[in-house]
């Protein structure tokens, strides 16, 4: 039951969920939730492959760095969202249509 | 390196289930025992006896965010340093400790740069002191003199 | 037996959480459901013996990123408003069920076709007996300071950059 | 140290025989079932003891505060008022459950549950004795940090969901305080990981000894400072006075649980008291030698060899001694926590952040560097071993 394909299925589901969130939502923070899901699906893939194919733990390291990068991305992205909100008083993605405020 | 079975995670699941069970049982028993007489006045938010004004879900000061930002950077760096710290003794024992000391010190010093930057820019101050320009100071003085 | 239970619980939590993020209207609920999903992923890591990754997932996501997200939601008003400044509710073709059904089907068909085509080219691996679980902490630590020491050090600079950049962007302006 | 309580029991002949007997009766291999039962019973026991500790914690808190303030404290219910916490529990059960009309009901229900899950899950790795540890995970302390950060989310959600201004302020303050103080606490634990060479509580405790000079608090000058950094950070993480700003009654009514009534409030309080105990236990295990007993009485060899007791009894007497040692240290720290609460005045919210970011975190980082260099220079020996080597070296040189 616990096999590579089941892990890949879960990862696929997470990826699709993330894409759906990013397409369907117009709220920037909600879109960032989708990005987190996508990054997690990638990290899960790495860990699953490394366990079921050669078990040399390089994939774990990749997952670890993906988690680190996701955290940095969330920090900067949310800072931009907050700054955007301070200027425009909205976090709707369609209002972010100008390069300069 | 010892091998283990996944049974070591069993208590974690059992304890989480117990927590859920405790909450369900406690709330259910309370529902049976307690009185239930809701009224509009009871369900008001507590604002020291006044009628509540507006919603509490409004904007907050951005300093909360800056604090959590510094926190997450430290959190991630801690998470990266944990496995290195765990093997430190072994590397020292085989005489390769200098490499680890070097990489750990570089890592920590970058971290220290971050905290020094935030400190010097005042991000770590809860109450930010703003330097008033000379015009503003004079303006304030004028207001004081009038009063 | 217990492996299967842990796997099913984690997978269910993960997928339900992800689905909840997709369908939840309330941003706060979406954040909490994301937390559930990330917890499920931590459980999935634990099932394949990646104990350090599971804990790192808990520490970084449950403790850090989700709190950051909750704070950001609070700082931007707390609620999700669907209308933008121009009063357009949403892009018309984006929200209907029909779109999602068609898109989902096409994604499935295309991905299965692609996988089927690629299966011939990909080297098939013989799944032997998997090795027993052992603590990954020491191996990860050794890899971090030997083969991947550059990535380890650069990630600290990445985080420093993230800290400085985000602090500059988010810092409250005077006046 | 055994990886879990199940492995500890497995070393006894009687346990293995019992498994064989149950397997015969049931007609299939019952070892998995027995493992589950052992874990379930042990977890249930631990949770109940912890609930009792939480209840008695409220009693002890009142009694000690009364002692400090020259009052009587609770003395009506039961002998010396010992059953006061039961009366409180019954009162909380009978209280009406009020949902604020404008609250977010889902999150309002979820918040106490999250707090309780976060706290209960930390109990799994608490080392009560070398045998009675529910599970000695390889990543023990890192797992504990991760799971206990759920409490921060719970505090935030509890404050947010009630949609009351007091709750909201308390929740925001509480969450930012908890995450801020996680930084010095994590760095301090990291430095202990450096010395002990492992992340499990087993490796923490097993590398220490029974006597105070073998504890990590007296290992070297840096760990001595680190213990106090950890203790202060622990006070703040559990929202205890003088860091109880999230629930400061003179400023914020009752903080993040202002709108919580009845049992939900009780669950929050229970989670808080258990968390104090857990963190005291972590401090005891990481700095004060955990369950170690002097003269190696803990492994029970002495009782078998000197008194001629059977091995199983000798071993379990040793376990009891270890448990007593751990609980004594933990409860002493618990007492100090309560003592601190009724001695120091509450500090201001800006002082909380100043203490965390401008004092504790730099000190913790300095400690980390110091301990790294110490372990590197002296090969992980404690200051006493280094001194005795120096003395011995000087002596040898004289001859």
Q: How far apart are CA C49 and CA D98, in angstroms?
A: 45
Q: What is the model's pLDDT at position C84?
A: 44
Total domains in the fold of chain A: 1
Interval D127-149: pLDDT, tens: 888 878 888 888 888 889 888 88
Q: How far apart are CA B76 and CA D186, in angstroms?
A: 11
Residue B137 has pLDDT above 80, yes or no: no
Min CA distance, B69 vs chain A (Å)?
Answer: 6
Contacting residues of C for D376, CB less than 8 Å apart: none
Quick one: how far is CA D234 from the chain centroid? 9
Q: What is the pTM assigned to this prediction?
A: 0.88
Residue D391 has pLDDT above 70, yes or no: yes
As a three-state string, the secondary structure of chain D is: CCCEHHHHHHCCHHHHHHHHHHHHHHCCCCHHHHHHHHHHHHHHHHHHHHHHHHHHHHHHHHHHHHHHCCCCCCCCCCHHHCCHHHHHHHHHHHCCCCCCCCCCHHHHHHHHHHHHHHHHHHHHHCECCCCCECECCCCHHHHHHHHHCHHHHHHHHHHHHCCCHHHHHHHHHHHHHHHHHHHHHHHHHHHHHHHHCCCCHHHHHHCCCCCHHHCHHHCCHHHHHHHHHHHHHHHHHCCCCCCCHHHCHHHHCCHHHCCCCHHHHHHHHHHHHHHHHHHHHHHHHHHCCCCCCHHHHHHCHHHHHHHCCCHHHHHHHHHHHHHHHHHHHHHHHHHHHHHHHCCCCCCCHHHHHHHHHHHHHHHHHHHHHHHHHHHHHHCCCCHHHHHHHHHHHHHHHHC
Q: Is C77 touching A (CB cutoff 8 A)?
A: yes
Q: Is C170 touching A (CB cutoff 8 A)?
A: yes
D295: left (phi over 0), alpha (psi -120 to 50) or beta: left
Class at the top of the CATH hierarchy for domain C1-80? mainly alpha
Per-residue pLDDT of chain A (101 residues; tens, 9 = 90+): 777 788 888 898 889 888 888 877 778 888 888 898 999 999 999 888 888 877 778 888 888 899 999 988 988 888 888 888 877 777 777 777 776 65
Do B65 and A82 make contact, defined as CB atoms within 8 angstroms? yes
Q: What is the model's pLDDT at position A41?
A: 92
Closest residue in D to B6 (Cα–Cα): D137
Q: How far apart are CA D11 and CA D9, in angstroms?
A: 5
Q: Is D98 touching B (CB cutoff 8 A)?
A: yes
End-to-end CA distance of chain A: 54
Do A78 and B65 make contact, defined as CB atoms within 8 angstroms? yes
Q: Is A40 touching C (CB cutoff 8 A)?
A: yes
B130: confidence class by pLDDT, cuts 50, 70, 90: low
Do C67 and D156 make contact, defined as CB atoms within 8 angstroms? yes
More confident residue, D197 or D249: D197
D125: confidence class by pLDDT, cuts 50, 70, 90: confident
More confident residue, C172 or A32: A32
Which of A22-31, C31-40, C119-128 shows the highest mean pLDDT?
C31-40
More confident residue, D27 or D221: D221
- Partner residue opposite A81 with nearest CB, options C19, C76, C90: C76
Q: pLDDT > 70: what percent of chain D? A: 95
D31-54 average pLDDT score:
84
More confident residue, B51 or A11: A11
Residue B131 has pLDDT above 80, yes or no: no
Min CA distance, D302 vs chain B (Å)?
Answer: 29
D248: confidence class by pLDDT, cuts 50, 70, 90: low
C111-134 average pLDDT score:
70
- Partner residue opposite B80 with nearest CB, options A68, A75, A79: A68
Which of A32-46, D23-37, D101-115 shows the highest mean pLDDT?
A32-46
- Are A and D neighbours with ≥3 CB pairs closer than 8 A? no
D355-382 average pLDDT score:
86
Q: Is C16 touching A (CB cutoff 8 A)?
A: no
Q: Which residues have a Cβ under 8 Å from the Cβ of B102 and sit 6 or more positions away?
A: none
Do D160 and C66 make contact, defined as CB atoms within 8 angstroms? no
Total domains in the fold of chain D: 1
Contacting residues of A for C50, CB less than 8 Å apart: 47, 51, 60, 63
Closest residue in C to D138 (Cα–Cα): C135
Do A75 and C21 make contact, defined as CB atoms within 8 angstroms? no
- Partner residue opposite D172 with nearest CB, options B52, B55, B60: B60
Do C152 and B110 make contact, defined as CB atoms within 8 angstroms? no
User: Does D387 reside within a domain?
Assistant: yes
Q: What is the model's pLDDT at position D249?
A: 65
Q: What is the model's pLDDT at position A39?
A: 92
User: Does D329 reside within a domain?
Assistant: yes
Residue D247 has pLDDT above 80, yes or no: no
Min CA distance, A68 vs chain B (Å)?
Answer: 6
Min CA distance, B23 vs chain D (Å)?
Answer: 6
More confident residue, A72 or B3: A72
Q: Which residues have a Cβ under 8 Å from the Cβ of C142 and sit 6 or more positions away?
A: B87
User: Does D273 reside within a domain?
Assistant: yes
User: What was the ipTM of the complex prediction?
Assistant: 0.87
- For residue A66, give the CATH number of its domain: 1.10.287.3510
Contacting residues of D for C42, CB less than 8 Å apart: 146
The domain spans of chain C are: 1-80
Range of the domain at D201: 99-398
D3-27 average pLDDT score:
77
Residue D265 has pLDDT above 70, yes or no: yes
Q: What is the model's pLDDT at position D394?
A: 53
D393: confidence class by pLDDT, cuts 50, 70, 90: low
More confident residue, C33 or B144: C33
Q: How far apart are CA C80 and CA C29, in angstroms?
A: 11
């Amino acid at each position: 039951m616990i096999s590579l394909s089941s892990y890949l299925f879960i990862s696929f589901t997470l990826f699709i969920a993330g894409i759906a969130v990013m397409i369907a939502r117009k709220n920037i923070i909600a879109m960032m939730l989708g990005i987190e899901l996508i990054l997690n699906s990638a990290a899960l893939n790495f860990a699953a492959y490394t366990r079921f194919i050669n078990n040399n733990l390089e994939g774990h390291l990749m997952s670890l760095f993906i988690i680190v990068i996701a955290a940095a991305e969330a920090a900067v992205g949310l800072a931009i969202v907050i700054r955007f909100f301070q200027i425009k008083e909205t976090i709707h993605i369609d209002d972010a249509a100008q390069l300069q405020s | 390196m010892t091998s283990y079975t996944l049974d070591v995670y069993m208590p974690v699941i059992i304890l989480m289930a117990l927590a859920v069970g405790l909450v369900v049982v406690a709330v259910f028993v309370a529902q049976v025992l307690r009185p239930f007489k809701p009224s509009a006045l009871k369900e008001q938010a507590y604002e020291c006896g006044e009628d509540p004004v507006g919603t509490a879900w409004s904007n907050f000061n951005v300093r909360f965010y800056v604090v959590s930002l510094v926190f997450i950077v430290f959190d991630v760096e801690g998470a990266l340093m944990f496995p290195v710290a765990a093997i430190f003794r072994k590397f020292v024992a085989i005489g390769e400790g200098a490499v680890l000391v070097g990489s750990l010190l570089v890592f920590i010093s970058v971290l220290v740069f971050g905290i020094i930057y935030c400190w010097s820019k005042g991000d770590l101050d809860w109450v930010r002191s703003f330097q008033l320009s000379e015009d503003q100071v004079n303006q304030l003085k004028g207001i004081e003199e009038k009063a | 037996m217990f492996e299967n239970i842990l796997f099913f619980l984690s997978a269910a939590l993960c997928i339900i959480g992800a689905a909840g993020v997709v369908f939840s209207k309330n941003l706060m609920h979406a954040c909490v459901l994301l937390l559930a999903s990330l917890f499920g992923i931590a459980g999935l890591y634990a099932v394949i013996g990646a104990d350090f990754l599971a804990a790192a997932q808990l520490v970084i996501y449950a403790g850090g990123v989700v709190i950051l997200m909750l704070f950001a939601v609070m700082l931007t008003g707390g609620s999700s408003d669907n209308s933008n400044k121009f009063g357009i509710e949403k892009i018309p073709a984006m929200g209907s069920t029909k779109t999602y059904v068609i898109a989902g089907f096409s994604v499935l068909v295309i991905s299965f076709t692609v996988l089927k085509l690629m299966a011939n080219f990909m080297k098939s691996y013989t799944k032997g007996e998997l090795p027993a679980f052992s603590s990954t902490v020491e191996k990860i630590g050794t890899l971090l300071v030997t083969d991947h020491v550059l990535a380890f050090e650069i990630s600290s600079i990445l985080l420093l950059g993230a800290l400085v950049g985000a602090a500059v962007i988010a810092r409250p302006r005077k006046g | 140290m055994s990886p879990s309580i199940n492995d500890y029991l497995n070393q006894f002949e009687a346990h293995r025989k019992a498994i064989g007997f149950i397997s015969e009766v049931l007609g299939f291999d019952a070892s998995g079932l027995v493992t589950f039962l052992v874990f379930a019973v042990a977890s249930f026991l631990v949770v109940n003891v912890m609930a009792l500790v939480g209840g008695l914690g409220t009693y002890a808190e009142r009694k000690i505060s009364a002692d400090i303030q020259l009052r009587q404290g609770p003395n009506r219910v039961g002998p010396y008022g010992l059953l006061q916490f039961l009366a409180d529990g019954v009162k909380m059960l009978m209280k009406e459950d009020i949902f604020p009309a404008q609250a977010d009901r889902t999150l309002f229900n979820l918040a106490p549950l999250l707090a309780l899950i976060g706290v209960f899950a930390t109990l799994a790795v608490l080392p009560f004795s070398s045998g009675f540890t529910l599970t000695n995970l390889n990543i023990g302390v890192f797992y504990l940090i991760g799971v206990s950060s759920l409490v921060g989310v719970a505090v935030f959600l509890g404050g947010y969901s009630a949609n009351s201004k007091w709750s909201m302020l308390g929740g925001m303050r509480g969450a930012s305080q908890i995450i801020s103080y996680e930084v010095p606490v994590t760095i301090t634990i990291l430095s202990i990981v450096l010395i002990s060479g492992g992340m499990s509580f087993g490796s923490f405790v097993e590398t220490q000894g029974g006597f105070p000079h073998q504890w990590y608090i007296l290992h070297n000058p840096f760990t001595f400072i680190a213990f106090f950094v950890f203790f202060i950070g622990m006070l703040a993480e559990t929202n205890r006075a003088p860091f109880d700003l999230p629930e400061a009654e003179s400023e914020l009514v009752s903080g993040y649980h202002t709108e919580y009534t009845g049992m939900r409030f009780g669950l929050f309080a229970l989670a808080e008291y258990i968390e104090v105990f857990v963190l005291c236990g972590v401090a005891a295990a990481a700095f004060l030698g955990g369950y170690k007993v002097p003269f190696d009485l803990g492994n029970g060899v002495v009782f078998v060899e000197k008194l001629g007791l059977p091995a199983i009894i000798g071993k379990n007497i040793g376990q009891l001694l270890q448990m007593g040692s751990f609980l004594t240290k933990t409860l002493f720290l618990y007492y100090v926590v309560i003592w601190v609460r009724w001695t120091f005045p509450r500090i201001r919210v800006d002082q909380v952040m100043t203490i965390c970011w401008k004092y504790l975190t730099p000190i913790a980082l300095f400690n980390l560097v110091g301990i790294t260099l110490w372990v590197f220079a002296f090969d992980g020996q404690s200051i006493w071993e280094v001194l005795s080597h120096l003395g011995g070296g000087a002596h040898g040189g004289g001859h």
